[in-house]
A and B are shown apart, each in its own frame.
Chain A
Amino acid sequence: MPDVQSTVLEFVNKLRKRKIEGSQATARYTVELLRSVISQQRVPHANQASALIDAVKAVGEQLVAANPVELAVGNVVRRVLHIIREENLSLTTAAMAGLDLMDASDDDELDNSKGIGYPAMSAAVVAAARSTLRPPSLQTLLEGTPESATVPYTSSSGADSESKSKSADKSSITRKLKHDVIEEVNQLIQEIAGCHEQIAEQAIEHIHQNEVILTLGSSRTVLEFLCAAKEKKRSFRVFVAEGAPRYQGHLLAKELVARGLPTTVITDSAVFAMISRVNMVIIGAHAVMANGGVIGPVGVNMAALAAQKHAVPFVVLAGSHKLCPLYPHNPEVLLNELRSPSELLDFGEFSDCLDFGVGSGSPLLQVVNPTFDYYYLDYRGGHNPSYMYRLIADYYSADDLVM
C-alpha cells in the first residue's frame, strides 16, 4: 500500500509540472497506475466493487486535480470505473443464475427452507439488480430501487445457509472480480497503446488518389494516418497550416517530407484561400466532448468554418481515450491552457509602450461547436457528432461523471 501511495504522488507531481507530453502517454501511465492501485487494494467479501470504486475514485480525483486541462486523465479514470461496474454486474447476474441452477440441481441435498421461495424470487431480484446497476432508462423508470439494498444481503445469506462447496464458490467469485477487472484494464492499455495503428488502418478508405488534404498543427494520429495511406500506394498532396505561434505545423511538414509525401506549409491566414482547392480537412483532436464539440489546437475553428462554407469534409481523428463524457461549459477558461505571451512578442518590444500586457497569454486550445457536421474517426469506424452519446454510453457510467 505505501509504495502505491508514493507512485501516485510521484505521478501527480509529474502531471502538475507538465512533465508528461501527449494524451496517449498520459492516459497509458494513468491506467497502469490505476492497475497497480487495484491489484494492491485489499477488498472485503461483500460489496467489494464499491471498495475498488472508492479506491480508484480517490486516486482519480488527485490525478484530475493535478492537470485538469489534460482530459485524457479523467477519461481513463472513468473508463476504469466503468469497467469495474460492468464486471461487477456480469458477475452478480452470473452468480444469481449460478445459485439458481445449483438450487434446482441438488434439491435433495439441501434443506427445504431455502429451496422454496428462492428460484422464484431470484428472477425478480436479478431483474431489479440489473436495473439498479444499469444507467437509468425509460424501461427502469417505474421499477425504482426497493430491491437494491436487499441484493447483497440475499446473496450473502444464501451463501451462509448453503453447504461448504457453495461458500468456496463464493470466495472464488470474489477473487474473480479483481481478476476480471485487471484483465479488462490490460485490454484498455492495449487499446490506448495501439490507437494510432487502429485508426491508421482506415486511412485507405478515406483518402483517395490525387487528393489534396489540409491539416492543422501537429498530431501523431494524423501523421500515422497519412503515412498509412502513403504505404498503400495512394498519391496525394498535403497542405499543413503552420499553427502560429508554436509553429507545430513545421514539425509535421518535416516529418511528412521525410516519409516522402508532397507537402506544402501555408500560413494560418491562407487556410480560407486554399480551402476551395482542398478535398478533405483532417484534424487530430485534443478531446471530443459529450455534445460532439471538438477541442483542438487554436485555429481549428477557423478551418471548420472555412470547410463548412465550401462543403469540404471535415474529419476528426481521436483515440477513444480522448472521448470525454463532460460538456464544455466554459471551454475558453476552464479547459484551456494559456501559454506565455512571450511566444507572440519579445520582451521589451511592447511592454515599454503599453501599461498593460497586450494579452493575458496565448491560448493553446479552441473548441469547435458540434453544429459543424464533421466525421469522427476512431478505431471502430466513423461517426457523426450526434452519435457521441452512444460511444459515451458504451465507455462510461453516468455515476462517474462527477468525481
Chain B
Amino acid sequence: MWRRSASFILDERRSSNSPPMADTTRGPFPNPDSISAYYQTRAAHHGVITSDWLAQAQAAVGGVSGEEHSVAELGKEKSFNVIDEFNSWRKQPDLAEAVAAIRALAAVIRASEATTMMELEIELKKASDTLKSWDKTSISLTAGCDLFIRYVTRTSALEYEDFNSAKSRLLERAEKFGEISCKARRIIAMLSQDFIFDGCTILVHGLSRVVLEVLKAAAQNNKLFRVLCTEGRPDGTGVLLSSELSKLDIPVKLLLDSAVAYSMDEVDMVFVGADGVVESGGIINMMGTYQIALVAHSMNKPVYVAAESYKFARLYPLDQKDMAPALRPIEFGVKIPAKVEVERSARDYTPPQYLTLLFTDLGVLSPSVVSDELIQLYL
C-alpha cells in the first residue's frame, strides 16, 4: 500500500528551493566554498593536485583572491588573526589538526589584553566559536578547541593568586600540547606492538600519521609482517603510504578499493586511523573505512583504530548523513556529462559494533569506553 516515494526527486526539488535561504543561516565568517577546508588541507599535505587547487593557484598568480575580500570587509582584527594563525599552523604536514587549533588559541591568549580570567575565557570562547564555524567539517578542530576551553575553565577554578602567572601557565601548556600530541603517537605505537605478531598481514586504509608510527615501531622491533594498502581514491593515500613503508623495508601490496573483500581472506587485522571518534565509540574517517569494517566484521577479522584521545568528540551520528557534509572535488580523468551527479562526500561513519579495539594514549580501549571518558571530561 505504501510505495516507496522517489525521495531523490523530492530532495532535489527541496534543495533547488533552498539556496536563497542558505546564505542567511551562515555564520559571520562563512567558508566561501562548500568544499571542506579540512579535507583540502589533507589533500595539500598529500600533494594531490585537484582542479580546485589549480584554480586557486591560478587565481593567486593572477593577483585576484576572492576569499580575502569577503573576510577583510568585516574588519574584526582579532578574529581575522585566529583564522589566519590556524591556517598557517595547519599547513605544516606533520602537525595534528587539534594542535594547530590549540596553538591558534594560544596566540589569542598572547594577543589578548584581558585582565581577568573571566574576560580571557570569554575571548577564547569567541575565538573558538569563530574557528569552529569557519570549518564545520573538521572534528579534531572542534574537539581540540573544546578540550582547551574546558582546561582553561578548570584551571581558572583553581584560584591562582596572580592572573599573569595563570596566563603564562596556560600559554605554556598550550605550547606543550604539540609535544603531548607527539608523545601520544609514541604511546599508541607502543601499546599496539603486542597486537602485531610475526607473519601477520595488516590491511591499512588512508594515510594516518598515527598508523604510520605504529608500523614504523613494529618494523623497528624487527617484526615480520606485510601490509596491504588500499589505493585510497581520490587522495591517492595508498601510493603515498606504500612509498613510506617501502623506505622501511616493509613488504607492501597495493589494492584497488574494490579489491578489499577479495583480499580480506589473507588479512589478519585491519588498522585505520580516525579523523574523529564519536560518543558512541564509532569513528569518522576517510571514505571507505565503513566498507572495509563491514567486510572485516563479516569475515571475523579484527578492526583496530589508532587515534589520539583529543579526537574524542561530542557527536552522535545516527546514520551516514547525520554529520556536517564534507565535500571534496573528485577527478575522474574524463569529462563527466553535466546531468550526472557525483557523490563527493569525503568521509563516512563506522558504527562501534564493527570496531574491535581503539588504541589511544589513554590505553587500549573498547568502543564503550569513549563515552565514559567524554562524560568524565564534560560533566
The residue that A138 contacts in the complex, of B356, B357, B363, B373, with Cβ under 8 A, is B373
Separation in Å of the A402 CB from the closest CB of chain B? 10
Contact indicator B376/A144 (Cβ below 8 Å): no
Separation in Å of the A389 CB from the closest CB of chain B? 5
Contact indicator B197/A386 (Cβ below 8 Å): no
**Given the complex, which residues of A lie within 8 Å of B194, measured CB to CB?**
327, 329
- Asked if B310 is an interface residue, CB under 8 A from chain A, the answer is yes
Separation in Å of the B325 CB from the closest CB of chain A? 28
| Nearest 8 A/B pairs, CB to CB | A138-B377, A386-B368, A142-B151, A389-B369, A136-B362, A142-B173, A138-B373, A329-B194
Bound Cα distance from A124 to B365, whole angstroms: 30
- Asked if A291 is an interface residue, CB under 8 A from chain B, the answer is yes
Contacts A127-B158, A144-B176, A389-B368 known; A137 to B195 CB distance under 8 Å?
A: no
- Asked if A388 is an interface residue, CB under 8 A from chain B, the answer is yes
Contacts A138-B373, A291-B357, A329-B195 known; A143 to B362 CB distance under 8 Å?
A: no
Contacts A141-B180, A389-B369 known; A123 to B364 CB distance under 8 Å?
A: no
- A-B contacts, 20 listed (Cβ < 8 Å): A123-B158, A123-B159, A135-B363, A136-B309, A138-B312, A138-B373, A138-B374, A139-B154, A141-B151, A141-B310, A142-B147, A143-B151, A144-B173, A144-B176, A144-B180, A327-B194, A327-B357, A329-B197, A389-B369, A389-B372
- Asked if B51 is an interface residue, CB under 8 A from chain A, the answer is no
- Asked if B65 is an interface residue, CB under 8 A from chain A, the answer is no
Using A138-B376, A291-B356, A327-B195 as known contacts, list a sample of 5 further A-B pairs with CB atoms less than 8 Å apart, ordered by residue number in A.
Answer: A127-B158, A137-B377, A138-B309, A138-B310, A388-B366
**Given the complex, which residues of A lie within 8 Å of B356, measured CB to CB?**
291
| Chain B positions 336-379 with a Cβ under 8 Å from a chain A Cβ | 356-357, 361-369, 372-374, 376-377
- Asked if A398 is an interface residue, CB under 8 A from chain B, the answer is yes
| Chain B positions 169-206 with a Cβ under 8 Å from a chain A Cβ | 173, 176-177, 180, 194-195, 197
**Given the complex, which residues of B lie within 8 Å of A120, measured CB to CB?**
159-161
**Given the complex, which residues of B lie within 8 Å of A290, measured CB to CB?**
364
**Given the complex, which residues of B lie within 8 Å of A135, measured CB to CB?**
362-363
- Asked if B148 is an interface residue, CB under 8 A from chain A, the answer is yes
Bound Cα distance from A135 to B154, whole angstroms: 18
Could you tell me which A residues sit within 8 Å of B by CB distance?
A: 117, 120, 123-124, 127, 135-139, 141-144, 290-292, 327, 329-330, 371, 386-390, 398
Main secondary structure of the interface of A (DSSP, over half): loop
Contacts A327-B194, A327-B195, A330-B197 known; A138 to B147 CB distance under 8 Å?
A: yes
Contact indicator B180/A292 (Cβ below 8 Å): no
Contact indicator A292/B310 (Cβ below 8 Å): no
Separation in Å of the A401 CB from the closest CB of chain B? 9
Q: Pick the most buried of A117, A120, A141: most chain B CB atoms within 10 A of its CB.
A: A141
CB closest residue in chain B, given A333: B197
The residue that A136 contacts in the complex, of B148, B363, B368, with Cβ under 8 A, is B363
Separation in Å of the A385 CB from the closest CB of chain B? 9
Bound Cα distance from A390 to B376, whole angstroms: 13
**Given the complex, which residues of A lie within 8 Å of B364, measured CB to CB?**
290, 327
Contact indicator A387/B368 (Cβ below 8 Å): yes
Separation in Å of the B183 CB from the closest CB of chain A? 10
Contact indicator B363/A141 (Cβ below 8 Å): no
Separation in Å of the B149 CB from the closest CB of chain A? 11
Contact indicator B173/A143 (Cβ below 8 Å): yes
Contact indicator A124/B362 (Cβ below 8 Å): no
Contacts A124-B158, A124-B160, A330-B197 known; A141 to B176 CB distance under 8 Å?
A: no
Separation in Å of the B8 CB from the closest CB of chain A? 36
**Given the complex, which residues of B lie within 8 Å of A138, measured CB to CB?**
147, 309-310, 312, 362, 373-374, 376-377
Separation in Å of the A138 CB from the closest CB of chain B? 4
Separation in Å of the A166 CB from the closest CB of chain B? 24
Separation in Å of the A315 CB from the closest CB of chain B? 20
CB closest residue in chain B, given A386: B368
**Given the complex, which residues of B lie within 8 Å of A117, measured CB to CB?**
161
Contact indicator B309/A141 (Cβ below 8 Å): yes
Separation in Å of the B271 CB from the closest CB of chain A? 15
CB closest residue in chain A, given B357: A291
Separation in Å of the B306 CB from the closest CB of chain A? 15
Bound Cα distance from A390 to B300, whole angstroms: 25
CB closest residue in chain B, given A117: B161
Contacts A137-B376, A137-B377, A291-B357 known; A142 to B177 CB distance under 8 Å?
A: yes
Bound Cα distance from A289 to B327, whole angstroms: 42
Q: What sequence of 0s and 1s flags, for each residue 126-158 of chain B, a beta carbon within 8 Å of any chain A beta carbon?
A: 000000000000000000000110010010001
**Given the complex, which residues of B lie within 8 Å of A124, measured CB to CB?**
158, 160
Contact indicator A389/B151 (Cβ below 8 Å): no
Bound Cα distance from A389 to B368, whole angstroms: 8
Separation in Å of the A148 CB from the closest CB of chain B? 14
Separation in Å of the A154 CB from the closest CB of chain B? 16
Contact indicator B366/A386 (Cβ below 8 Å): yes
**Given the complex, which residues of A lie within 8 Å of B361, measured CB to CB?**
136
Contacts A120-B161, A144-B180 known; A389 to B197 CB distance under 8 Å?
A: no
**Given the complex, which residues of B lie within 8 Å of A371, measured CB to CB?**
300
**Given the complex, which residues of B lie within 8 Å of A329, measured CB to CB?**
194-195, 197
Bound Cα distance from A330 to B199, whole angstroms: 13
Contact indicator A390/B160 (Cβ below 8 Å): no
Bound Cα distance from A330 to B194, whole angstroms: 10
**Given the complex, which residues of A lie within 8 Å of B310, measured CB to CB?**
138, 141
Q: Pick the most buried of A123, A138, A387, A388: most chain B CB atoms within 10 A of its CB.
A: A138
Bound Cα distance from A1 to B127, whole angstroms: 62
Contact indicator A142/B180 (Cβ below 8 Å): yes
CB closest residue in chain B, given A127: B158
CB closest residue in chain A, given B143: A138
**Given the complex, which residues of B lie within 8 Å of A142, measured CB to CB?**
147-148, 151, 173, 177, 180
Bound Cα distance from A290 to B369, whole angstroms: 12
Bound Cα distance from A142 to B147, whole angstroms: 8
**Given the complex, which residues of A lie within 8 Å of B373, measured CB to CB?**
137-138
**Given the complex, which residues of B lie within 8 Å of A144, measured CB to CB?**
173, 176, 180
Bound Cα distance from A127 to B309, whole angstroms: 21
**Given the complex, which residues of A lie within 8 Å of B197, measured CB to CB?**
329-330
Separation in Å of the B330 CB from the closest CB of chain A? 35
Q: Pick the most buried of B154, B363, B365: most chain A CB atoms within 10 A of its CB.
A: B363
